Amino acid sequence: MGYHLHLIAVPEAGLREDGVWLAELFDASWNSEEEPPDAVEMVIQKDFFALDHLLCGAEKHDIGPWLPASLVIFGGRPVYHPEYPDPYVLLASDEVRVAAGFLEATAFEELWAVSGAGLAAAWGWPEEKVAEIFARYYADLRETYARAAAEGRVMAKNFAF
């Protein structure tokens, strides 16, 4: 599976706050050959820490975990599986709406202007190439959260290391 963040927007009525159920949800999604037509999900390979840095800036601890930028990647409450040390994370539907609002109201270029040069330098690639990669991530996050918010869904997150 690798090192990734997997997001699945779950209808609130169908959600079970149970680590075993969440493990089955993510396993079924990962192993499925076809995505259901109503699926709202996204996988970010390896770059989710850098994406969080882009969204929150270098001084994340100064903005607080309750502000919209902090909700997108790492925000939510933990739900533990009885056999796994790392929790799943659930972002409530009202928090999904706040995160979606932040993504819709904030231009990628604005975020890139604050943190982009540092991210590009860390990658060692031309800044334009790194900006293209993160712009795609941002567009995908914006679409994923917008759909989840419009449908009143909860965001389930699985950080796989």
Over its length of 161 residues, how does the chain's per-residue pLDDT go in tens digits? Answer: 578 999 999 999 989 999 999 999 999 998 887 777 788 999 999 999 999 999 987 655 455 556 889 899 999 999 999 999 999 999 999 999 999 999 999 999 999 998 898 889 998 899 999 999 999 999 999 999 999 999 999 999 999 98
Question: Is the distance from CB of 135 to CB of 111 less than 8 angstroms?
Answer: no
Q: How far is CA 89 from its chain centroid? A: 10
What pLDDT does 35 receive? 75
Please compute, for residue 21, the number of CA atoms within 13 A of its CA located in the half-sphere on the CB side. 10
**What is the H or E stretch that residue 151 is in?**
none
**What is the H or E stretch that residue 45 is in?**
strand 41-45
The amino acid present at 88, given as its one-letter code, is: Y
C-alpha 54/C-alpha 129 separation (Å) is 15
Question: Is the distance from CB of 154 to CB of 93 less than 8 angstroms?
Answer: yes
Residues linked to residue 158 through DSSP beta bridges, in sequence order: 6
Tokens of 105: 């109201």
Question: Is the distance from CB of 37 to CB of 65 less than 8 angstroms?
Answer: no
What pLDDT does 59 receive? 57
What pLDDT does 24 receive? 95
